[in-house]
Chain A
Amino acid sequence: MTWRMRGLAAGGVLAAAVTVSVVAAATEAEDHAADEIRRYRQMLEDGNPAELMEMKGEALWREARGPKGASLEACDLGLGPGVVAGAYAQLPRFFADTGRVQDTESRLVSCMVALQGFASAEATRDWYRPGSDLEALVTYVATQSKGAPIRVPVSHPEEARLLAAGGELFFRRSGPLDFSCATCHSQDQRRIRLQDLPNFLNPADARASMVTWPAYRVSQSAVWTMERRLIDCVRQMRWPEPAFGSEAIVALQVWLQHQGEGGELQSPGIKR
C-alpha cells in the first residue's frame, strides 16, 4: 500500500509540473473518445446490427437440427426446460446433469449435444468466427433477459468454488509482461491508449459493463460473447488460449457477474 502511494505521489508531482501540455493532449484524447461515442449513438439509431444475430439465433433455437432432428426448445438454461426469459441474467450456474458450472456458451453446447445429437467438437467448431451459430444463439438467449437484474447463484458448493477461484484468477500474474486482469481493470478511470477500462473491483463499473454483453463490436463488425471477450483479454496478456468452456473462463464469468450483481441487462450492447 505504501509503495503504491509513493509511486502515485511521484506521478502526481510530475503531472502537476507539466499541466499545460498534458491538458492539451488529454482534451484532444477526450475529443477522440467523444467522436467514437457519437459514432456508436448514430449506429444505435440505425439499429444495432446484433439484432440480426438475435433473429438468426431465434431461428436456430426453434429449428429441428442435428442427427436427432430436434430443436433446442427443450433446453434447460437453468430456469427449467424451455425457459429462456431471464436465464442469461443467472448464468453461469451449476447444472446437475453435467455436474459442472456452465456459462451460456457451454450450456448451449451441452443442449446441442444432448438434444440434437451433435458431437461437441462439431458444436464448437469455429464458434469464435463472426456470425457463428453459437454467437447467434447466445445473442438470442441474452436478449431474452433484457431488463432482468444480473443475479448468479453462488449457493451450490461448485458455484462458490468457482466464485472464489474467479476472484483469485483476476489477480493471477504470469507471462512475459507480468499481466493479470487486475493490471488493466483494478483502478477507476483508466485507459489503455484511448480505450476506457472498466474497474471490475468497483461494482458500479462492473454493472455498467456486464449489462451490455454480448455486444456488437464496431471495430470487429461482429457480435462478441463474454467468452470471446475474455479470450481476447487473455490473448492481450500474452497467455495461451484457454479451452472453450474451461473452468477458468467460467470462474472469471461467475466472479464478474457477481461483481455486476443487480445491473439490469441491456443486451445486446454496442461497442468500439
Chain B
Amino acid sequence: MSVRRRLSGLVALTMLASSSMAGAAGSLTEAIVREAFATATPEEWRDRLAQDDAQALCSQHRNQPPPEVAAQILESQRATVRLPEDGRLMGDWRAGEKLAGIGTGGHIGRIQPDPPGRAKGGNCYACHVMAPGEVAAGNIGPTLTGYGRLRGNTPEMQRYTYEKIHNAQAFFPCSHMPRFGHNGWLSPKEIADLVAFLLDPESSVNAGR
C-alpha cells in the first residue's frame, strides 16, 4: 500500500543520509553490522537493518536527542501521520483486545522463525498494563487501564490515540514505542480496533471485568 511504498522509499533515501550524518564512530558500527548480517538470506531480510532518519538520529543520540534534534524528529514524524481513508477512527474493541495480546509475527532467521503468514499483533501488553483482568502485562510504557474512562472519547481523543499508535514519535521523539502504522506493521483497520479497545466505554480497558 501507499504506506509501504513511502517506507521503502524512505529506507533507500536514509541509508545514504545516515551514513553521511552518523560520523566516524557510527560508520564503524555500520560496517560491523553489515559484516554480521552479510550471510542472512533472503537478501530482503537485510532491509530491516537500514535506518530511516528517526532511527538513525535516535541511535546516535541514545534516545536523548538535544532540543533541536527532538524538534526536527517531531516535525518529520508529524508529517508522516495518515488517518484512515474511510475516516473510521474507532473499530471493534474486541478485535483490538485480541491484537493487543498477540506477540507473534515477523520473527525471521533460521533458528526460530514464525511460520509464513503468522498473524502480526500489536503486542501492547508487552509494554502496557491495559484491561485489569490481564495480569501478564509489562511496564516499559505507562499503564493504560481506564484510559478512555479518564480521558473521554471525544473526536480529539480518538484522533490523538489513532495518531499515537500510527506514529508514537509524532508526539514523543525517540519513544520506545514502535511506530506501528508508519512502519506498516498494523493496518488502518487494526489501529482503529486498538483505538476502540482503549476508548470504547464497553471495552475491558474501561469497564473492568
- A: residues with CB less than 8 A from B are 1-4, 6-8, 10-12, 14-15, 17-18, 21-22, 24-26, 28-29, 32, 128, 161, 164-165, 168-169, 171-180, 182-184, 186-187, 189-195, 197, 231-232, 235-236, 238-243, 246-249, 251
Contact = CB atoms under 8 A, between A and B. Distances in A.
Contacts of A172: 29, 33, 51, 59
B138 A191 contact: yes
B48 interface: yes
A22 B33 contact: no
Contacts of A241: 37, 40, 108-111
A237 B152 CA distance: 34
Contact of A231 (B62, B111, B174): B111
A264 B154 CA distance: 56
B143 A11 contact: yes
Nearest to A191: B138
| A22, A168, A183, A248, most chain B CB atoms within 10 A | A168
Contacts of B140: 183-184, 187, 190-192, 197
Interface string B25-38: 11011001101111
Given A178-B179, A247-B36, A193 B142 contact: no
Contacts of B81: none
B201 interface: no
A6 B71 CA distance: 14
A98 B128 CA distance: 46
Interface residues of B, number: 67
B112 interface: yes
B72 interface: no
Nearest to A24: B132
A243 B51 CA distance: 20
Interface in B60-108: 62-65, 67, 70, 103, 106-108
B62 to A, nearest CB: 5
B76 to A, nearest CB: 14
B130 to A, nearest CB: 10
Given A29-B135, A171-B62, A3 B70 contact: yes
Given A3-B174, A29-B135, A18 B25 contact: no
A184 B184 CA distance: 22
Given A14-B143, A171-B59, A247-B32, A176 B184 contact: yes
A7 B63 CA distance: 13
Contacts of A178: 54-55, 178-179, 183
B143 A22 contact: yes
B37 A242 contact: yes
Given A14-B143, A161-B28, A164-B25, A32 B185 contact: no
Contact of A128 (B64, B111, B146): B111
Given A178-B183, A238-B106, A169 B29 contact: yes
Nearest to A179: B178
A165 B28 contact: yes
B136 A29 contact: yes
Contacts of A8: 142
16 contacts: A2-B70, A11-B141, A18-B145, A169-B33, A171-B63, A174-B49, A177-B185, A178-B54, A183-B176, A187-B140, A190-B138, A192-B140, A193-B138, A194-B136, A236-B107, A241-B37
Contact of A182 (B37, B38, B51, B63): B63
Contacts of B139: 189-191
| A4, A161, A238, most chain B CB atoms within 10 A | A238
Nearest to B58: A173
Given A174-B48, A178-B55, A248-B32, A243 B132 contact: no
B46 interface: yes
Contact of A32 (B40, B126, B136, B147): B136
Contact of B135 (A32, A175, A236): A32
B192 interface: no
B145 A21 contact: yes
A272 B35 CA distance: 32
A248 B135 contact: no
